[in-house]
Chains A and B, each alone.
Chain A
Amino acid sequence: GAVVSQHPSRVICKSGTSVKIECRSLDFQATTMFWYRQFPKQSLMLMATSNEGSKATYEQGVEKDKFLINHASLTLSTLTVTSAHPEDSSFYICSARPGTMAHEQFFGPGTRLTVL
């Protein structure tokens, strides 16, 4: 149980285009989902917290107009990187927290974004 999927697993796009990444909780309902970014050989950095049916809360330094987050249902959150640039190339990881659990988060497999 507690499986989280991400799609796509890897994407290559041209500079200036937008990319959407999906995060799904497959066997539980996630009232809260989190989006992280991880650069090579670095740790995970929290970008934003997404609550179902409400606006995402972004961490300091993360541009909300560039990283659009939508949490339309209890099993799906999407992250759209708008007008992507090479510096946005990174490993994007989502996690989901079941409504019944206070602190546990289940992580997705990550999405490798490469912007040319």
Chain B
Amino acid sequence: GESVGLHLPTLSVQEGDNSIINCAYSNSASDYFIWYKQESGKGPQFIIDIRSNMDKRQGQRVTVLLNKTVKHLSLQIAATQPGDSAVYFCAENIKAAGNKLTFGGGTRVLVKP
């Protein structure tokens, strides 16, 4: 079936550098894409979302890019900090399916001091 997937299971980044986490999706009916951060033993924490009719959205230190042509989503974290170490998930929301979320496989970000 259609699903959301990730390319990199683990990303090591030097503190202060920028991080880029990628996600591929296959369902063209998705109307929203959301990035979540999950720390060990905790529930997912909302980071940022983007509507399917947009190609870029910026938040505080984060930017999400959406390329519908190649069905690719990315999360950029500027000036990565130790507190950014976590697992990051992309998720797609499909309104036609009752606004259910389908999660990607996750990328672990490790920030090196």
Contact = CB atoms under 8 A, between A and B. Distances in A.
Given A107-B45, A110-B41, A112-B41, A43 B103 contact: yes
Interface stretch (A12-20, A62-70, A72-80, A97-105): A97-105
A49 B41 CA distance: 23
Contacts of A95: 43, 101
Interface centre among A103, A106, A110 (most CB of B within 10 A): A103
Contact of B100 (A34, A42, A93): A34
Given A44-B103, A103-B93, A93 B43 contact: yes
A115 interface: no
Interface of B: 31-32, 36, 41-46, 49, 89, 93, 95, 98-106
Nearest to A32: B99
A109 B100 contact: no
7 contacts: A46-B101, A46-B102, A97-B99, A102-B99, A103-B99, A107-B45, A109-B43
Contact of A108 (B43, B46, B101, B103): B43
Contacts, number: 52
Interface of A: 4, 6, 32, 34, 42-46, 49, 57, 91, 93, 95, 97, 102-110, 112
Contacts of A42: 105-106
A25 B101 CA distance: 19
Contacts of B93: 103
B104 A43 contact: yes
